[in-house]
Chains A and B, each alone.
Chain A
Amino acid sequence: MTEHDHILPTRVYYLIFGTLMLCTYLTVQAAFLDLGPFNTLVAMAIAVLKATLVILFFMHVKYSSRLTWAVVIGALFFLGILFALTMNDYLTRGWH
């Protein structure tokens, strides 16, 4: 279970950087379009994409051990629990 001593070529970093900047531009542009209830979804989707790129490439998770993946996914899972079970309360308060 050793981590590969992976040295990513720098062009990968520049490519990811460019993608991240493009996504930032897109998310600002999308904010000024009236997409109704989808504005938030689009903004969050772009943010998730950006975060994923940072995690996979800048933080090398794509080339890391299964343990690292398990740690990242595990954290997100419990964060999801925090959100899901709390919002479950708030979103059902109005129900009768």
Chain B
Amino acid sequence: MPEAVHHSDALAHQFDSLEQQKEAATLGMWVFLVTEILFFGGLFLTYAVYRNWYPDAFEAGSHAMLIWAGTTNTAVLITSSLTMALAVHAAQTGRRGALMLFLVLTMILGTVFLGIKAFEYYTEFTEHHVPGAGFHLEGPEFYHAQLFFSLYFVMTGIHAAHMIIGLGIMAVMLWWSWKGVITKDYYNPIEVSGLYWHFVDIIWIFLFPLLYLIGRHAH
């Protein structure tokens, strides 16, 4: 049977139309984000259980966090979500230059986040807040506070790993934008990458108060 429909280069063979392909890709990314919600969910559950058991230890641990670093990082990620949304907008309106600019800004902000995180890890290492034989924290709660720090490192570490992957995805998007693969009619890869990026931001939105802001009034 002759193919009556003209297929653009961007259309994969299993789909009948670009519209179907776009809907499939978007649904696919949302389903993937569902897996991420449950993945991080297990960590948040662990946090909830132990904060319920050791509220004072968690408070002591949270006081040792660098609140300026956490707040700055929250602002950085929120800004990066803005630049990401603006990147999608630029792609939708066919403005290649703006698209690339916003992608670069998003990546810069993501890198700043990771830089501040790395600085925090370094500080925690030198102040002996890393769980294990060398752990030390001032005050009576130091024994169970190790659980707080264990959770802190695992949760922020896995979050940071997701950020790094996000930077990789953005790099690919940047390259595609530069090569002209992204057009007004085929901008969905940017949208879908944006969904991932915003999700990683949302995880941090919850991590920030849970890790940095416990019982801050009691000083």
A residues at B contact (CB < 8 Å): 1-3, 5, 7-8, 10, 13-14, 16-17, 20-21, 24, 27-28, 31-35, 39-40, 43-44, 46-47, 50-51, 54-55, 57-60, 67-68, 71-72, 74-76, 78-79, 82-83, 86-87, 90-91
Contacts and interface: CB of A to CB of B under 8 A. Distances in A.
Contacts of B177: none
A58 B23 contact: no
B45 A3 contact: no
Given A58-B81, A58-B85, A90 B45 contact: no
Interface of B: 19, 22-23, 26-27, 30-31, 33-34, 37-38, 41-42, 44-45, 48-49, 52-53, 67, 71, 74-75, 78-79, 81-82, 84-86, 89, 92-93, 191, 194-195, 198-199, 201-202, 205-206, 208-210, 213-218
Interface residues of A, dominant DSSP? helix
- Output the residue of B23, B84, B218 with the most chain A CB within 10 A: B23
Contact of A47 (B48, B198, B205, B214): B205
Contacts, number: 122
Interface residues of B, dominant DSSP? helix
A52 B167 CA distance: 24
B45 A86 contact: yes
B39 to A, nearest CB: 10
Q: Which 10 A-B pairs have the closest CB atoms?
A: A31-B213, A43-B209, A31-B216, A75-B34, A34-B217, A17-B82, A79-B41, A75-B37, A20-B78, A13-B85
Given A24-B71, A24-B74, A67-B27, A59 B38 contact: no
